[in-house]
Amino acid sequence: MEKLDPAGEFLRMSEHYRHITDGELVALARKPSELTPIAQEALANEISERKLNVQPEEPPPPAEPTPPDPAPPDPYEGDRQLVTICTVWSMSDAMQVQSLLDAAGIPFFMGPEKATGVDGVTSNFADGVSVQIMNIGLPWARRAMQDYVPHDDKSPQEEREPEEVPVQCPACHSEEVVFEELVPSPDAAVKPSLPKYKWMCDSCGHEWEDDGIVRDK
């Protein structure tokens, strides 16, 4: 194996570096670990001869962190949503609701403080305290609340409109009745009175007059 001549190697590298550009010298100087000690010495001499200013290479910018994968949607989110099943207006009614829901094994929350028992309610019952459960327990809560009899219910009661009674033919009792016209009373000029309603049955053809008030039979 041929023995390396340090002096000859230094001269060879010096000659090589003498013929390359300034930019190539700077690029080599920034990667000294890739050169032999003799090549590093020859390169340093050439850079000194040319009075080149070698600035250290700027490190590459740090890689942006990879954002975490978005959490998968919770399939039970809808089941855990709270729904209001009633409003209680006294402690006695609240105790009754608590007893019914406890017996059915249904967790509940009372008032804005989300109390899990009547003892934890800090709201004023006179202002109304809502009772909420998770949506998944609603079918069981409805069964349990069938036995709830409030004693201090101040919830507004919905006014029920009177049921409309259909007009029926007095002859065949069919509901296929057509209103034809208003018939003035014969003595309307002498004594003011309400007009009559004239009807006709599409089923049997019967015609009749009445005052327009449907009476239960």
- What does the alpha-carbon distance between residue 38 and residue 44 come to, in Å, rounded to a whole number? 10
Question: If residue 173 lies in a helix (H) or strand (E), which one and from where to where?
Answer: none
Question: If residue 200 lies in a helix (H) or strand (E), which one and from where to where?
Answer: strand 196-201
In DSSP terms, 183 is beta-bridged to 196
pLDDT digits (tens, 9 = 90+) for 4-58: 678 888 888 888 889 889 888 888 888 887 888 888 888 888 888 888 887 766 6
Q: Give the pLDDT mean for 149-159.
A: 72
User: CA torsion 18→19→24→30, rounded to 10°?
Assistant: -20
- What does the alpha-carbon distance between residue 46 and residue 19 come to, in Å, rounded to a whole number? 10
Q: Would you state the pLDDT for residue 83?
A: 92
Residues 6+ apart with CB under 8 A from 67: none
pLDDT digits (tens, 9 = 90+) for 66-106: 888 888 887 878 888 999 999 999 999 999 999 999 999 99
pLDDT digits (tens, 9 = 90+) for 166-180: 778 888 888 887 877
Q: Would you state the pLDDT for residue 160?
A: 41
**Of the candidates 32, 31, 40, 33, which has an alpha carbon nearest to the alpha carbon of residue 9?**
40
pLDDT digits (tens, 9 = 90+) for 110-137: 999 999 999 999 999 999 999 999 988 8
DSSP secondary structure string for all residues of 17-41 = HHTS-HHHHHHHHT-GGGS-HHHHH
Q: Would you state the pLDDT for residue 96?
A: 94
Q: Would you state the pLDDT for residue 213?
A: 52
Q: Would you state the pLDDT for residue 162?
A: 43
Residues 6+ apart with CB under 8 A from 155: 87, 89, 128
Strand 129-134 versus strand 109-110 pairing type: antiparallel
Q: Would you state the pLDDT for residue 178?
A: 80
Q: Would you state the pLDDT for residue 107?
A: 94
Q: Would you state the pLDDT for residue 208?
A: 79
Q: Give the pLDDT mean for 204-209.
A: 85
Q: Answer whether 94's CB lies under 8 Å from 148's CB.
A: no
Q: Would you state the pLDDT for residue 194?
A: 57
Q: Would you state the pLDDT for residue 121?
A: 93
- What does the alpha-carbon distance between residue 96 and residue 118 come to, in Å, rounded to a whole number? 10
By mean pLDDT, which of 57-61, 88-92, 202-206 is the weakest? 57-61
